[in-house]
Amino acid sequence: MFHSARQIAASMILAMTMSAMDKVIAEQVAGDSAATKVRSENNEHNSAVQMTPINIIGVTPDQPSQPNTSTLKGRSLRLQQGNTLGQTLNEELGVSNASFGPGVGIPVIRGLTGSRVRILQNGIGTHDATSLSPDHAVAIDPLFAEEIRIMRGPEIVRYGGNAIGGVVDVNDHRIPGKRTTKPISGSVENRYDTNGDGTNSAFKLNLGKDRLAFNLGGFFRKRGNTQIPGKAIDEALVEQQFGLSEIQNVSGTIPNTNSRGIGGFAGISWLGHNIMAGMSVSHTDNRYGVPKGSHHLDPNHLNGLETILPKLNDLRGFEDIFGPQALFPNIRLNMQQTRYDFKSEWYEPARGIESVSFRYGLVDYGHTEMEGGSPFTKFKNDVGEGRVEVRHHAFPNLTGTFGAHWIHRNFSALGVETFAPRTKQQSLGLYTTQDYAWNNWILRGGLRFEHAHIDPSVNELRLRGSALPPVPLPGSLDYQALSASSALQWNPRTDTALTLTLNRGKRPPDIQELLALGPHLSTRSFEIGNVQLKNETVNMADLGMEWKSGRISARANGYYNRTDDFIYLRNTGLVYEIDNEVIRQRCVSEAECVSILAYDQRHAEFIGFESRIDATLYEMPQGNLLLSLFSDYVRGRFVTGDRDDVPRMPPLRYGAELGYGNSTWNTSVRYTRAEAQHYPGKNETPTDSYHLLIATADYQITTSKWGNLWLFAKGHNLLNEEIRNSVSFLRNFAPEPGRSFILGARATF
């Protein structure tokens, strides 16, 4: 069914594109004939100078800066690029990395992640499984990124309820948007990481002639086990949290954290005078390991054999009973994703209409979780997402957009961890965003209505092997959500801007929050969904200030977020025996049990700030000396009941960066201090403070004939600190990587 829908959609898109092309080509042929006639007449008059027409495609007036929107690109992006998207953005204000070992890194924006933060690839969702579990990687490789935008302001209403915490949009220009200036151009990049002997290689080719443009790209990534300064498992905290003792521990490395990824894309566009249409096809294959202690801790109770086996250094002679993989199974995830993206834009089709744009993506995502070399669970997510948007400038001071956005999703999880049934999900959103400028004031607003329909394939949830009665399900679940946002920006001077942002957004519950029932071993939990969940409502106020002078610039934001009916996993105090498949109040063997967590709702609040000051200390002929000071913080807690803390919040961070350089070379040293997290949440453990020291250096060689060569080096965690990440589920089992040096080269031609 999904593949048929894909073929129909692709046929419709190509038909629409060809129809539009035929119309525009006819207009261009007529225009070209007229131009030829004029040139002939000019030649007859022996004109001294002949001008070649210049076709400008898709140029729009400069837009004022958006509040609560930051963009990472150019040199800064290249130096921050890591193995995962979360690692790449970890140095941005208000953004943390929810790591699950080095193979997984999910962005956390102001303490929110998962189903509350939309991760986009060129404006269309990644539609991977990151919202289902923290051990699922984002299906984006940062090496392809040309620009990453982080949005938290009024325009997030364009992206639906799952963007109430923010939006991360990764743009890699895989669909060409402009004509090439030469027949062939591109870039080649290679980098090496001493930690884990990691290699990352990528290339891009831009080809084109006349109105056709092609893009090709590919990457290959490989790394070994992550090196750490001390022990992998914090035995004291694991015993405190899970009641486990005599844990098999290692030092210096985290076993089973090696990874390997390969992928590529091809894109093509037709570019007319005021219209373009293009498409791309991409595929990603990512295979990575999950650190020990996530799905299964090393068993210490094996029907009596635990009295001798865990204490043996040599298991020879016991292979026929318990081989190494039976005792200590490796958990591997094999992820594949194929995407088909379509894009079309029509510029200035009528008076007052700046552009009409169309985006559509077909995503075929799947991953298989392997335990001890055997497949345990297979996740599938087949999604179609589209958007039609009209941008106008109908009045001199008013610009804005009107749009429609829809998603169709088929989800399934088959195998041992089938904790949610096959489900279809559909959503449709209608929205508008408007900007009005008057003197030194700018008023921005957005409004969105969204309808979500969830249709499970079963009429009841039944727990295999349990005496518990089945949970009846309705035929379908429907949600309506109305979201609104606004921002008032005042520019009392040309170098100063004050912004007040007010957002009220609603998020319908996600599939796992409604329909989960079963073991989720990646987080050592047994999850129970709740079909009675209501919309989650965010009420956010943000006051921001930006000031820029010749040598100093400053930015500060303070915000308050009151979330009504905040959806979270509540610890019931019960446990589930994995082997016997029964629910108990307590377990004799804690290693064979996982905690039972149930989705529930409570009011919560988040209070925080972000600030940064950049200054040019000295201007010298050889280069400029720059200093940056930065800090961010968020505190999340429930406002009802015992007012306990929302779990896995980032700590207070502050630091400084000192840089020296010019347009050819740069060096910098960045120091970050993260305070201890003493508010980890109920049944969670605190994390210690740490110091993070990073140094970078880069040099650009420019040649007018062949292109540019950019050499760079980066030292990360130079103090070799043991860093336990408070937003990570695995902080007590897998610390962040130790000291590493990254060397790389990037050639453009």
Query: According to the model, what pLDDT value does residue 734 have?
Result: 87
Residue 140 has pLDDT above 70, yes or no: yes
77 membership: H or E segment, kind and range = helix 74-80
Euclidean distance between CA atoms 110 and 151, whole angstroms: 12
12 membership: H or E segment, kind and range = helix 2-44
- DSSP for 314-330 reads --TT-TTT--HHHHS--
Residue 251 tokens read as: 């030092």
> How would you class 656 by CB atoms within 10 Å of its CB: exposed for 0-12, middle for 13-18, buried for 19 or more?
middle
Residue 72 tokens read as: 């990472």
Query: According to the model, what pLDDT value does residue 310 have?
Result: 37
Query: According to the model, what pLDDT value does residue 417 have?
Result: 67
Residue 472 has pLDDT above 80, yes or no: yes
Residue type, 417: E
Does residue 67 or residue 14 have the better pLDDT? 67
Euclidean distance between CA atoms 680 and 715, whole angstroms: 30
Lowest-confidence region among 70-79, 160-169, 339-348, 581-590: 581-590
pLDDT in tens, 39-51: 344 443 443 334 4
Lowest-confidence region among 110-114, 338-342, 372-376, 669-673: 372-376
User: 115 φ, ψ to 5°?
Assistant: -75, 0
pLDDT in tens, 518-550: 877 666 678 888 999 999 999 999 999 999 988
pLDDT in tens, 230-254: 998 888 887 776 666 667 788 999 9
| CA distances to 36, 177, 484 from 501, in Å | 54, 32, 11
- Residue range 643-666: mean pLDDT, rounded: 94
3-class SS of residue 397: coil
Collect all residues with Cβ–Cβ distance below 8 Å to 532 and sequence separation of at least 6.
none
Query: According to the model, what pLDDT value does residue 63 have?
Result: 44
> How would you class 588 by CB atoms within 10 Å of its CB: exposed for 0-12, middle for 13-18, buried for 19 or more?
exposed
Query: According to the model, what pLDDT value does residue 507 have?
Result: 95
Query: According to the model, what pLDDT value does residue 487 have?
Result: 95
Could you tell me the pTM of the whole model? 0.85
Pairing between strand 353-371 and 331-350? Answer: antiparallel
Residue 312 has pLDDT above 50, yes or no: no
Using an 8 Å Cβ cutoff, are 397 and 383 in contact?
A: no
Does residue 20 or residue 227 have the better pLDDT? 227
Using an 8 Å Cβ cutoff, are 428 and 397 in contact?
A: no
Query: According to the model, what pLDDT value does residue 136 have?
Result: 86
Residue 179 tokens read as: 């004509």
Query: According to the model, what pLDDT value does residue 67 have?
Result: 65
Residue located via tokens 């831009």: 206
Using an 8 Å Cβ cutoff, are 295 and 203 in contact?
A: no
Euclidean distance between CA atoms 105 and 683, whole angstroms: 23
Residue 579 tokens read as: 């082997």
Q: Which residues pair with 557 in a beta bridge?
A: 544, 610
Lowest-confidence region among 154-158, 196-200, 364-368, 570-574: 570-574
Q: What value does the CA radius of gyration of the chain take, rounded to a whole number of Å?
A: 27
**Overall residue count recorded for the chain in this entry:** 749
Using an 8 Å Cβ cutoff, are 120 and 177 in contact?
A: no
pLDDT in tens, 631-649: 999 999 999 878 889 989 9
> How would you class 113 by CB atoms within 10 Å of its CB: exposed for 0-12, middle for 13-18, buried for 19 or more?
buried
Lowest-confidence region among 175-184, 190-199, 238-247, 280-289: 238-247
pLDDT band for 606, please (50, 70, 90 cuts). Answer: very high
Query: According to the model, what pLDDT value does residue 55 have?
Result: 40
Residue 613 has pLDDT above 80, yes or no: yes
Residue 66 has pLDDT above 90, yes or no: no
Collect all residues with Cβ–Cβ distance below 8 Å to 653 and sequence separation of at least 6.
630, 631, 632, 633, 672, 673, 674, 675
Euclidean distance between CA atoms 572 and 589, whole angstroms: 18
pLDDT in tens, 79-99: 999 889 999 999 999 999 998
Residue 20 has pLDDT above 70, yes or no: no
Using an 8 Å Cβ cutoff, are 109 and 92 in contact?
A: no
Residue 342 has pLDDT above 90, yes or no: yes
Does residue 65 or residue 403 have the better pLDDT? 403
Q: What is the mean pLDDT of the chain?
A: 84
